[in-house]
Amino acid sequence: MNIKKFNGVNVVETTKIEAKNPSILIGFPDVGLVGPIATSHIIQSLNMEEVGYMESDLLPPVIVVHDNEPKHQIRIFGLGEILAVITETILPPQAVYDLSRTIALWAKQLNAKFVIGLTGMAVPNRLEIEKPSVYGIGSTKEARKILQDAKIQPFEEGVLVGIYALLIRECMREKQPNITLLAEAHLQFPDPGAAASTIESLNSLLATNIDVKSLLEKEEEIRIKARELMRRTREQMRSLQKVQEQELRGIYV
Amino acid sequence: MSTRRRRSVFELFEELRNQVNRMFEEMMGPLLPPETPMHNVSRRELQPLTHLRETEESIIITVDLPCVRKEDIRVEATENMVKIEAPTRECLRLSPYGAIQREAEFDVFRKTVKLPVAVEPQKARARFKAGILEIVLPKKIAGFRIPVE
C-alpha cells in the first residue's frame, strides 16, 4: 500500500500503479450525472481493477457498501494506461478545492498524459435532441490539437462552474494537461444518453472501443436508481451557483 | 458585586443542545435529505424527479418518468396544484439497497407539485417524450399592459 499525502487529501494506492503516462478519467456527480454514469460504465466494460482510493477529513462521514464490502467514497480503478476516479456520493463544497488540487498534483506525480473530466453541459432543449453532441476543452495547445484530431467540437465560449472548473484551474496551475468533455445533457435529470455520447467521444480520443449499447439498454433502470443521487446533486449545484453556466454574459465582441 | 445572572441548568442545557444541533447541521447538512425519501415501500410508489420553471406567461413542469407508457399517465391540475400519477409498464423490483435491504417492488410514480402562482388548468397542455413529461400551465394573470406615457 502506498499512501501519498497532499493538501488535506490522501491518495492511497492499494495496488502499484504501473502505468507510464496514464489518462485519468474523472467521474464526479454534476450535470445529468454524466460523469459517474459514463465512468461506471467504462469501469464495468473494461473490467478495471480497483487500485486505490482518496480519503480526507473534509469528506462527509460516509462509507459505501457494495456486495457486502465497505468501500471508500472516492475510488480509483485502473487498467493499462487508463485510470478512473469515481464517486457516487456528493462532495461538500469545502472538499472540492483540496480534492481537485490533489488530483492535479497526483496526476503530475504519475506523469499522467491527461486528466480527463467527463461531465454534462445543461441544454434547455435537451428533449428535442436525439443524440447529444459533445464539446471539448483542452487546457494546453497539445490537448486542443488532440481534441481537434479526434473530431471533438471545441467548447468555444462560456463559463464552467463546479469541480470540473476547479480541476481545469488546478491542472493549469500544475501544468498538468487537462481535457474536459461536456455532453449536452439534462440539468435536472440523470442522462445516460449524454453519458453514452461522452464515451463515444472518449473512444476516439483514447482509441478505445467501449460499447455503449448496453448502457443505452439500461437507460431507464439507471434513471430510476439514480433519482436520489440526482436530487442531492441538484442541491449541490444550487449551492455552487451552477446556474451561471446558463448565463449569456459574453464580453469578447 | 457582579450583576451577571447565573444561568440555570436548563438554560445551559438548551445552549448546549443548540450548539450540538448547529454542529450536526454543519457536518451533516449536505447529507440530510432535502425532502422526504423518494419512495414509499408500503404504497409501492416512487417519487419522480421533477423540475419547475417559470416564464412570463406559464409555469412549465418537467417530470422524469422512465418505464412508463404515455397512455397510462394521469395529470390533474387545479389553479394551485398539479397531481401526477403514472403506473409503470411492469412491476419494478429493486434489489436491496440502503434502507431497503429486502427486495422491494414498485409499480407507480406519484407526485403532487404546488404551484408558485395561480394557473388556468383548463388551458394546460402536456407532452411525453423520451420518458419525460412536460406540462405547460398558462398563468391566470399573465400580466397587464401598462401604458407608457
- B-chain residue closest to A193, CA distance: B130
Mean pLDDT within A80-87: 96
Size of interface A-B (CB pairs under 8 A): 61
> In this predicted model, what pLDDT tens digit does every residue of A18-69 receive, in sequence order?
999 999 999 999 999 999 999 999 999 999 999 999 999 999 888 888 888 8
Mean pLDDT within A190-207: 97
CB contact under 8 A, B30 and A230: no
Where do the H-state alpha helices sit in B1-149? 9-28
Domain range for residue A16? 2-239
Classify residue B48: in a domain, yes or no: yes
Backbone angles phi, psi at A184, to 5 degrees: -60, 125
Question: Across the interface, which of A92, A223, A230 has its CB nearest the CB of B66?
Answer: A223
- Decide if pLDDT at A226 tops 70: yes
Mean pLDDT within A87-103: 90
Q: Does B65 touch chain A (CB under 8 A)?
A: no
Distance from CA of A203 to the nearest CA of B (A): 25
Which residues, given as ranges, of chain B have pLDDT below 70? 1-7, 9-35, 96-101, 142-143
State which H helix or E strand residue A167 sits in: helix A163-173
Chain A interface, Cβ < 8 Å to B: 60-62, 90, 92, 127, 186-190, 219-221, 223-225, 227-228, 230-232, 235-236
Classify residue A252: in a domain, yes or no: no
Pick B104 or A194 by higher pLDDT. Answer: A194
- Which of A68, A224, A237 is the best substitution to test chain B (most B C-beta atoms within 10 A)? A224
- The CA-CA-CA angle for residues A91, A97, A101, to 5°, reads 115
Backbone angles phi, psi at A107, to 5 degrees: -60, -40
Place of cell 446533486: A233
Classify residue B81: in a domain, yes or no: yes
CB contact under 8 A, A190 and B27: no
Q: Which residues in chain A are contacts of B97 at CB distance < 8 A?
A: 225
* Residue B29: per-residue pLDDT: 46
Mean pLDDT within A70-81: 95
pTM (predicted TM-score):
0.85
B80/B90 Cα distance (integer angstroms)? 32
- A-chain residue closest to B38, CA distance: A228
The span from the first CA to the last CA of chain A, in angstroms, equals: 53
Classify residue B144: in a domain, yes or no: no
Which grid cell sits at A139? 487546457
Instruction: Write b or e for each residue in B12-48: b if 16 or more Cβ atoms lie within 10 A of its Cβ, otherwise e.
Output: eeeeeeeeeeeeeeeeeebeeeeeeebbeeeeebbbb
CB A132 within 8 A of CB A193: yes
Please name the amino acid found at residue A19.
A
CB contact under 8 A, A60 and B31: yes
CB contact under 8 A, A227 and B47: yes
- A-chain residue closest to B45, CA distance: A224
Question: What band does A124 get if pLDDT is binned at 50, 70 and 90?
Answer: confident
Classify residue B25: in a domain, yes or no: no
SS (H, E, C) A111-138: CCCEEEEEEEEECCCHHHCCCCCEEEEE
Classify residue B11: in a domain, yes or no: no
- A-chain residue closest to B66, CA distance: A220
Classify residue B19: in a domain, yes or no: no
CB contact under 8 A, B94 and A232: no
Domain CATH code at residue B134: 2.60.40.790
Classify residue B2: in a domain, yes or no: no
- Split into its structural domains, chain B has a count of 1
Domain CATH code at residue A199: 3.40.50.10900
Domain range for residue B118? 39-138
A228/A219 Cα distance (integer angstroms)? 16
What is the DSSP pairing of strand A2-5 with strand B125-129?
A: unpaired
- Decide if pLDDT at A1 tops 90: no
CB A132 within 8 A of CB A31: no
- Decide if pLDDT at A241 tops 90: no
- Split into its structural domains, chain A has a count of 1
ipTM above 0.90, yes or no: no
CB contact under 8 A, B49 and A220: no
What is the DSSP pairing of strand A178-185 with strand A114-122?
A: parallel
Classify residue A250: in a domain, yes or no: no
- Which of B49, B91, B92, B106 is the best substitution to test chain A (most A C-beta atoms within 10 A)? B49
Classify residue A125: in a domain, yes or no: yes
Q: Which residues in chain A are contacts of B60 at CB distance < 8 A?
A: none
What residues form DSSP beta bridges with A114? Answer: A23
Classify residue A9: in a domain, yes or no: yes
- Which of B27, B40, B63, B64 is the best substitution to test chain A (most A C-beta atoms within 10 A)? B64
Q: Which residues in chain A are contacts of B134 at CB distance < 8 A?
A: 127
Classify residue B69: in a domain, yes or no: yes
Residue A49 region by backbone torsions, left for phi larger than 0, else alpha for psi between -120 and 50, else beta: beta
* Residue A14: per-residue pLDDT: 96
